[in-house]
Structure 1
């Protein structure tokens, strides 16, 4: 839209943040924020236009893709649970994992191995490792923090991931970067400071080398008392108790092959078919069907009933995803990102450009939940500024990606946080209460480093 809403474009975000903090919920504040945005955009005719935007959002191919992914992973995770293959993996891990710290370190390593996609990372690792970390009384919100803090940083640092594929395409379309997306991306990896800092902080957190916040200490004490779920998570706790009863009643023989082979086919299928995660997950599910019938683990009826149950478990998450993307659409129509960028342009200098780029993209990622879209809009603005100011282009690209990664960590209604919370069975707000202080510390450290690099690079 041509109309400029200025500072009013931030109103839907403010409404979402304020009401989420008050209610400790996410879906309702998101819907309210989209309605506020619709009122700004359409006035008295906001309701039919809001419904139109909702339908347009639900039919968008990218949104459909994002809705399908958790549904398919729900099937895969349910397969692992009902086949008792998770028990086999846990029994193997317990032979080597003897402490709370090591259980989180195993999660950290597993996250590095599953580097190709943060969705895969969030859903697979959270769903798999929670049984192991529960044994060592790790609070679920701490598991969520560790899971989410490995996924995206590793994905951007390895040039063979969904983030890398997207950014290479973005860079390849830029004349200022010579149309060589791969070279531009690889040259920027040494300047992706925030992902590196995050992985270091996370390791120090796991092995108790950085101070624990009051909330983390309270969570640890609560878990020591036998409740790994955050206070107020009665539904999740009841579900957990039901899961325990089902696990105890599950007499299926734990076979490690029932876990390992589907994971191998998931990774291989994703890589072979041009990083298409949906194809990889479908191949993994098909592997479960064939393997579990071949070795007698599950009957046909059990396989299909388990599949349906897995999809049902993800329905609330899918609703949340639709609300997230509807808010993203509203923000785009209001021109939120453009307003913020043009507001900070007057204060940008060559030395400050990398640091300001980091902060602007981080802020927009946190407030809009649209990390890739933000980078797509910011890139054609910062590249000419960098060229005119004679600032290293790889440095600026690293700062931009760093800001995007920060946003994926702390946007409480973002897809990365949402998927991780779903797989670890905690609320988004519970995860953010653990992760935000450490993410902000990482952002501050990264900003200082980028200021220094602005002088010397």
Structure 2
């Protein structure tokens, strides 16, 4: 990045910060702490953070400015109240708002420990030479860029248990392969992200199915309702179709086209100079490593994580507390289960490498701080993102959005699935959490169509469509948001600059969102999945072919020839 570009970014950053200060001054003189709650002001902090991050390419300060603005609004611009809200405040129901309370939450701590252990595992596999050996083996079997990308998609689909586990595992395994075939890190991050939440939300045996079923009110069978929503989950299904179409047809557009062009023509996997994982790439690699030094640790990790999750769900309990496999998943604690699984996966890997003598004990211990350092960036972003969500919750974003849904239900019944989809996208994008969006909207949707528990066949069908629209919109917003935990972990898994990942993925996600919105309009009127889904698939294909035609015009004949040979 030259000095002129840096100066331009600095000017934009200053202008954006001054604009935020001006808006906050207006709020200080025109609002009170009570008047901003459960209003559009509740969405101001995350919107500010997201806009700043996308415009300035600087994520840490953008998130922190969003946090401070939320605390100022909540406290009525009182200094002491603002400070306490940023760091220490909790809700009356025990929900965490402040940064310190977020870090004291057992679920959040479990996710951070899981991240650190995964970082250590990746460092071990790299130091042992397992990643390099697997990359060499795969490059002799996977001959093309298309094959490397399809293999990434296939692995992502197979690891449907949990989105966090998916993001980091797929990235660790496939990064050596995609690097050898000149697939940009931004494209790898997109493939990881698009096979995380979109796959989990249509997999009945996953932590996501458990979450959704838990949000269904009353005595309804949550898992049964979840399964019925799958054919109507257009964003998830169309995202899978989109990945395959983009890969097979070699179609790229928007900022992703620049990243892929640089990767193909110049072997530049990053495009930008900001490479937060550069130190990890410079790590020493052992010469004794074999393919099994990556495959066995990954398989052990998968097995132990599955066992850990069903253990927390009561699968290994005795007597009345014992549950079946599916019920154990539905009742599992993903945070605890993943920590248990990753810990035993780490122990297995250490024993394997020591017995095979590919690493000495000292080399194994040296990988611990290296793995931790590699995860500092996602840990910081996650911590700030959780705190920003706490600010949004404290300002009453949930009741505000719930009111919008209930108002929409009164006069736009056939359009309601499409409206719910848009509201879910906006809420999930602003808060960075799809699960939080489920928790807010699913009970409202169920009560709109089946308040008494005796819904007619037509109302029941609309309830399923609307529930699916809520789930699809939540995943879409999560997919687009730079403060989403899965988006952050996808960047970490691909070892990509986070803002590069967000800016390159956004046009793809918005394309799929637009087609999904139209599909939900069709579904609201036809109430037939076999009409709306094929309609959406055809529309998506037409749109992508249009983008391909326009983008191909920007490539010279020699560049197109080189791309075809990759």
Which bracket does the TM-score occupy, shorter chain normalised? over 0.9
What is the CA deviation profile of residues 176-233 of structure 1, one whole-angstrom value per residue up to 9, with x for unaligned ones? xx33222121122222121000000011111126x42142222122112121113232
Answering whether residue 196 of structure 2 is matched by residue 196 of structure 1, we say: no
Residue 128 of structure 1 deviates from its aligned partner by 2.4
| Structure 1 residue 108, shift from structure 2 partner | 0.7
What are structure 2's unaligned runs of at least 5 residues? 1-32, 89-97, 311-328, 330-336, 452-457, 528-566
Query: For the residues of structure 2 that align with 1:124 and 1:269, how far apart are their CA atoms?
Result: 13
SS of structure 2 residue aligned to 1:413: coil
**TM-score after normalising by structure 2:** 0.75
**Does the alignment pair 1:13 with 2:46?**
yes
Say which SS state the counterpart of residue 207 (structure 1) adopts: helix
What residue is the counterpart of 1:86 in the other structure?
A: 131
Larger RCO (CA under 8 A, 6+ residues apart): 1
Counterpart in the other structure of 1:302 = 363
What are the superposed Cα offsets for residues 125-144 of structure 1, whole Å, 9 maximum, x if unpaired?
A: 11222221111111110111
Aligned length, in residue pairs: 446
* Partner residue, 1:408: 478
Give, in whole Å, the separation in 2 of the partners of 1:206 and 1:440. Answer: 18
Question: Relative to structure 1, is the Cα distance of residues 257 and 232 closer, same or farther in structure 2, using a 3 angstrom cutoff?
Answer: closer
- Aligned-residue offset at 1:257: 2.1
Counterpart in 2 of 1:430?
Answer: 500
Bigger radius of gyration: 2
Alignment CA distance shift 1:386-1:15 (3 Å): same
1:268 aligns to what? 303
Rounded to whole Å, the distance in 2 between the matches of 1:115 and 1:299 is 35
Q: Distance in 2 between matches of 1:107 and 1:195?
A: 17
From 430, 435, 441, the equivalent of 2:511 is 441
Distance 2:172 2:420 in 1: 35
Residues 6 and 339 in structure 1, CA contact (< 8 A), matched pair in contact too: yes
C-alpha distance in 1 between matches for 2:261 and 2:299: 37
**Which stretch has the larger CA shift, 72-81 or 127-136?**
127-136
1:412 deviates by 0.9
- Selected match of 1:220 from 260, 271, 276: 260
Please tell me whether the aligned partners of residues 85 and 259 of structure 1 are also in contact (alpha carbons under 8 angstroms): yes
Q: Which residue of 1 aligns with 2:224?
A: 183
Residues 1:69 and 2:114 aligned together: yes
* Separation in 2, partners of 1:169, 1:232: 44
Distance across 2 between alignment mates of 1:17 and 1:157? 28
SS at match of 1:95: helix
Report the equivalent of 1:355: 418
Cα pair 1:350 1:391 within 8 Å, conserved: no
1:7-156 matched pairs, under 5 angstroms:
7-42=40-75, 43-44=77-78, 45=80, 46-52=82-88, 53-156=98-201
Taking a change above 3 Å as real, the CA distance of residues 281 and 405 of structure 1, as seen in their structure-2 partners, is: same
Shift of 1:386: 2.4
Contact 1:138-1:228 within 8 A present in 2 as well: yes
Aligned Cα root-mean-square deviation (Å): 2.0
Q: Aligned in 2, Cα 1:331/1:309: closer, same or farther, shift over 3 Å?
A: same
Which residue of 1 is the match for residue 20 of structure 2? none
Are 1:345 and 2:381 counterparts? no
Q: Which residue of 2 is the match for residue 163 of structure 1?
A: 208
Separation in 1 of the partners of 2:383 and 2:413? 40
Q: 1:378 to 1:434 in 2, by over 3 A?
A: same
Distance 1:267 1:109 in 2: 16
SS of the aligned residue for 2:282 comes to helix
TM-score (norm 1): 0.92
* Aligned mates of 1:159, 1:343 — CA distance in 2: 30
Structure 2: how far apart are the matches of 1:309 and 1:18? Answer: 33
| 1:222-237 paired onto structure 2 within 5 Å | 222-223=262-263, 224-233=265-274, 236=277
C-alpha deviation, 1:2, in angstroms: 7.5
Counterpart-to-counterpart distance in 2, 1:241 and 1:111: 23
Shift of 1:5: 4.6
Distance 1:235 1:408 in 2: 23
Out of 339, 346, 354, the residue aligned to residue 278 of structure 1 is: 339
Q: CA–CA distance in 1 between the matches of 2:483 and 2:49?
A: 9
State how far apart, in whole Å, the 1-side matches of 2:273 and 2:369 are.
Answer: 28
Checking the alignment, whether the CA contact within 8 Å between 1:156 and 1:163 is kept in structure 2 is yes
Output the CA distance in 1 between the equivalents of 2:47 and 2:186: 25
Encode CA deviations 1:342-370: one digit per residue, 9 max, x unaligned.
23533332211211111111111111112
Give, in whole Å, the separation in 2 of the partners of 1:74 and 1:278.
13
1:376 to 432, 439, 444: 439
Aligned twin of 2:459: 390
Please give the alpha-carbon distance, in whole angstroms, between the structure 2 residues aligned to 1:280 and 1:340: 37
By how many angstroms is 1:76 displaced?
Answer: 1.1
**Residues 1:364 and 2:434 aligned together:** no
Q: Once the 2 structures are TM-superposed, how far is the Cα of residue 391 of structure 1 from its aligned partner?
A: 4.9
